[in-house]
Structure 1
Amino acid sequence: MLKMSLTILLAILFIISVPYILIIIPFTKTRSKNGGKHPPGPLPLPIIGNLHMLTTLPHRGLQKLAQKYGPIMCLRLGQVLTVVVSSPEAAELFLKRHDAVFASRPRIQASDYVSYGSKGMAFCEYGPYWRNVKKLSTSQLTSPSKIEFFAGLRRDEVVSLVDELKRVAAAHEVVDISGKVGELIETITYKMILGRNNDDKYDLKGIIEESLSLMGAFNLADYVPWLGPLDLQGLTRRLKTVSKGIDHLMENILVEHEQKGEHDSTQDFVDVLLSLKNQHDTNPQSDDSYQVLTIERDNIKAILLDMLVGAFDTASATISWAFSELLRNARVMKNVQAELESVVGTEKMVEEKDLGKLQYLDMVIKETFRLHPVGPLLAPRESREDIIIEGHYIPKKTRILVNVWAIGRDPNVWSKNVEEFYPERFIGKDIDVRGHDFKFLPFGAGRRACPGMQLGLVTVRYVLAQLLHCFIWELPSGMEDKDIDMTESFGLVVGRANSNLLVKPTYRLLD
């Protein structure tokens, strides 16, 4: 069957369902047994519910709906009851006060195919397995000691990029800085997780980008399950293809590590996972009476894929957004480079120990997170039980979307200049990025907050600081700041639709 666009499919389904509208709509205001109502929201249509209201950039469409129906809004996306949260107060209710109730993930078709039946950390349901995989991943890759351990690796790769850009600057050439940063993050990720350089042998980058696209897509099969076998959007076919590609690459990676010679004593994250293969662990301190951790081959592949997906595009997308805003705001660029000159000096490069002193740079990064969160709706959550919140009945298995993009653009939360890139709004305000302040949640909050948060922050701060300190950045001749394309591309990670960001560097240090 030919692939159809989601818009055309929804239109066809709507036309088919018209005869039933007058029959079904009066019964859409479902009540609980104790009479509680769902949160307010627009009337759903038969079959498609409110899917037609999402728009191509759902975080923007949902923001407009929330302005009408409120910060706790109910939609029916196909057959899936969905609650959208769009204010700091509401986010605190769902992600802190009732965090345990909303700590699970919904099962989606993409995760079943790509993540080996949701055996990774990002999309598995809440429970003992998730807790132990998170603990393992944190201790072996994202703990403070591990982040410090990889400091030399980050430094070497960033210095290599600076040297390459110095040659570009000497030749008065133009470079795609987004592409170069993407390659840098990719190299660091390969070495941290896989213990090797990236090469043509493993096209992980391409397959991960396809995975991100599929996992971020609004798949009709997830919302109207009986349409799944028809594969009207062609997503199932693509998922099967990418699943085979992922498994082939992951299997090759595991075999390569299993065949290491005795002379190779280095141990990376893959080696750690392989050492746990087929081990079964139980926690006598837990109330759970069943096994809490079973690591088999598919589990290892799923966990590895989660780590790679989490590292590849999030940091590079954030740096690209920050660069774009700095090029459009010369005043801010001048201020951040003046701070770097004052703190670091112009005779040496930035070191990671300098990052804690760069307060204005920190505000620039926070402002980037506010305006351009790479996960504008966070990863969806699912309620584990029936609950009443603010008088609203939310049944078990309800999907929860937290629109951090809408919260970051709310003038009632921030200020009237909410659309302006203005880092100074953070001066004198103790606004934390780690999920303690619910008007600012770039990494989420609670149990399912991003476990790689600290590693991501260090990487973004260090790379951005080094590039801004070492070079003056200008747009190519004939291009003005207004010409920079800030259009979003929606997916699991929201980056710039036009990923190329052409700039002309001039080296500015005195060494």
Structure 2
Amino acid sequence: LVTRVLNSTSFSRRMAVTLILLLALISAVSVLLLTRKSLKLPPGPAPVPVLGNLHQLGPLPHRTLRDLARLHGPVMQLWLGKAPAVVLSSPEAAWEMLRVHDLDCCTRPVSPGPKRLTYDLKNVAFAPYGAYWREIRKLLVVELVSARRVKAVWCAREQQVEKLISTLGCAGAKPVALDEHILSLSDGIIGTVAFGNIYGSDKFTQNKNFQHALDEATDVLSGSSAEDFLPKAVGRFIDHITGVVAQRERIFKHLDAFFDMVIEQHLDPNRAKSENSGDDLVDVLISHWKEHRGTLKFTRNHVKAIIFDTFIAGIDTSSITIMWAMSELIRSPRVLNKVQTEIRAVVDGKDRVRPEDMSKLKYLRMVVKETLRLHPPAPLLVPRETMRHIQISGYDIPAKTRIYVNAWAIGRDQASWPEHPEEFNPERFEENEIDFKGEHLQLLPFGTGRRICPGMSMGIATVEFTLANMLCCFQWALPEGMVVEDVSMEEEGKLNFHRKTPLVLVPIAC
């Protein structure tokens, strides 16, 4: 057929080439359709042209997907525009994917937003699985858990908690919107660990601008651009005309200028260092860059990407969890009284909770676990992507499929939590050893396997220590005229989900 077309005087060479390409496309599509028909794919809602199932997600996708999973099952297929995706909503399905098939699905889908903001995927969270990711994650974990860094983090944590307690004490038993104070605390801890004591000082005036840029960056990281879901050329065109690309570049340039400023400050040979903490995280990264340590071939952009990773992963997770814990506690006077009684018995007359007291606060730990069960900071874990064909719960999952784990739905799974799973009840952890560290399928707020959050321990220590001192130093009450039923528990967000409205409480100094 091709030969006849080429020899025919009624067809130009261009028409012949077009016909050849069309036949090749039809053949490829036919093979793909036949292949997919032979697979046992997961059930799911019917997609519509172009959008797939995007129109069904809504502003709270973890809730929508839980409801859809009740209709279609815990292993559910969706089409996010052109991208095939599978949503896992049961502990068993998530465990099979994240632990049994961990190595088969521990890479990330490439998205233009994260790719740009992370200097071509040079950070830990979004880097594709491979030798580079293994080395950079090892470096970060070793640095975060080293004895020197743990000490530095505790110094920063104690300083920022003391600052928070002092600020709340100055409120004079008047209503306080906690959100900004808690965000400032988390920002101060991460900033001090990453940049040293200059962060937050009078010499360092860019904190608020940096935090605003980070807030905008979180939206970009959620992967909500048209190019993520539509054919590349069409999606890119839409992103250009809607301003998505311009916004992404503006955020990138803002953050990049900030990181350059920080690096230049650290390269200054006359810079004073803290006697308590020594080198901060940026110092360590610069040493790898300048001294060509290891096999990573560090560059200035690697330093920036990992700084970005540290802030994005660290600040929101801690502050969101503290805010949800306080929200649940103020709505449950019984639990609030019980945890405060435990804390005050442990401190035994001291005015503050000390780091050495934390291991004795067993009920407080249950409160944090219960908060993470009901309110995982990222209700849908950062998506993975299958690197090869696998099977989950008897269903075929082809390579290049995005995997979304609904940690929010798993935390409220009736089979795992039979006693009123929607209620806040820390006592449910008294008779079991279920924890959030990735070893129990019923509770996966930080994921599990190779992609588990590397800063989990540092973040949880901040949450527990902050809550312990807030509950030790103050009695907490609602503003006059409010009752517990008036406390809104509405949520909003894209990547991480926080309270929709400020939490206003009255701290009464003890």
TM-score scaled to structure 1, two decimals?
A: 0.88
Higher alpha-carbon deviation: 182-191 or 476-485: 476-485
Partner residue, 1:150: 153
Report the Cα offset of residue 197 of structure 1.
2.2
Residues 186 and 477 of structure 1: is their aligned pair in 2 closer, same or farther, counting only changes over 3 Å? Answer: same
* Residues in 2 aligned to 1:264 and 1:191: alpha-carbon distance in whole angstroms: 12
Which consecutive unaligned segments of at least 5 residues does structure 1 have? 1-26, 283-291
C-alpha deviations, 1:241-286, integer Å up to 9, x for none? 101111111111111111131764842111111111166667xxxx
1:29–1:37 contact (8 Å) kept in structure 2: no
Q: What secondary structure sits across from 2:170 in the alignment?
A: helix
* Residues in 2 aligned to 1:281 and 1:393: alpha-carbon distance in whole angstroms: 43
Instruction: Indicate whether 1:220 and 2:226 are aligned.
Output: yes
Matches within 5 A, 1:110-509: 110-143=113-146, 146-168=149-171, 171-195=172-196, 196-198=198-200, 199-202=204-207, 203-216=209-222, 218-224=224-230, 225=232, 226-231=234-239, 233-261=242-270, 264=273, 266-277=278-289, 293-498=296-501, 500-508=502-510
Residues 236 and 110 of structure 1: is their aligned pair in 2 closer, same or farther, counting only changes over 3 Å? Answer: same
Residues 506 and 263 of structure 1: is their aligned pair in 2 closer, same or farther, counting only changes over 3 Å? Answer: closer
Residues 73 and 143 of structure 1: is their aligned pair in 2 closer, same or farther, counting only changes over 3 Å? Answer: farther
Q: What secondary structure sits across from 2:224 in the alignment?
A: coil
Partner residue, 1:4: none
* Residues in 1 aligned to 2:34 and 2:218: alpha-carbon distance in whole angstroms: 36
Report the Cα offset of residue 228 of structure 1.
2.1
Report the Cα offset of residue 299 of structure 1.
1.2
1:110–1:214 contact (8 Å) kept in structure 2: yes
Higher alpha-carbon deviation: 418-427 or 228-237: 228-237
TM-score scaled to structure 2, two decimals?
A: 0.88
> 46, 52, 57: which one pairs with 1:49?
52
Partner residue, 2:69: 66
1:31–1:37 contact (8 Å) kept in structure 2: no
Residue type of the partner of 1:315? S
Higher alpha-carbon deviation: 313-322 or 133-142: 133-142
Higher alpha-carbon deviation: 221-230 or 434-443: 221-230
RMSD of aligned alpha carbons: 2.1
Residues 277 and 35 of structure 1: is their aligned pair in 2 closer, same or farther, counting only changes over 3 Å? Answer: same
* Residues in 1 aligned to 2:66 and 2:226: alpha-carbon distance in whole angstroms: 22
Instruction: Indicate whether 1:106 and 2:109 are aligned.
Output: yes
1:217–1:491 contact (8 Å) kept in structure 2: no
Report the Cα offset of residue 389 of structure 1.
2.8
* Residues in 1 aligned to 2:386 and 2:457: alpha-carbon distance in whole angstroms: 27
Show structure 1 runs of 4+ deviating over 6 A.
Answer: none
Residue type of the partner of 2:473? C
* Residues in 1 aligned to 2:76 and 2:147: alpha-carbon distance in whole angstroms: 38
Report the Cα offset of residue 486 of structure 1.
1.3
* Residues in 2 aligned to 1:279 and 1:124: alpha-carbon distance in whole angstroms: 23
Which consecutive unaligned segments of at least 5 residues does structure 2 have? 1-29
* Residues in 1 aligned to 2:464 and 2:97: alpha-carbon distance in whole angstroms: 30
1:380–1:399 contact (8 Å) kept in structure 2: yes
Q: Percent of aligned positions with the same letter in both sequences? A: 38
* Residues in 1 aligned to 2:337 and 2:397: alpha-carbon distance in whole angstroms: 49
1:115–1:302 contact (8 Å) kept in structure 2: yes
Partner residue, 2:16: none
Residue type of the partner of 1:245? H
Residues 33 and 83 of structure 1: is their aligned pair in 2 closer, same or farther, counting only changes over 3 Å? Answer: closer
Residue type of the partner of 1:241? R
Q: What secondary structure sits across from 1:294 in the alignment?
A: coil
Higher alpha-carbon deviation: 351-360 or 299-308: 351-360
1:488–1:494 contact (8 Å) kept in structure 2: yes
* Residues in 2 aligned to 1:238 and 1:440: alpha-carbon distance in whole angstroms: 36
* Matched positions, count: 471
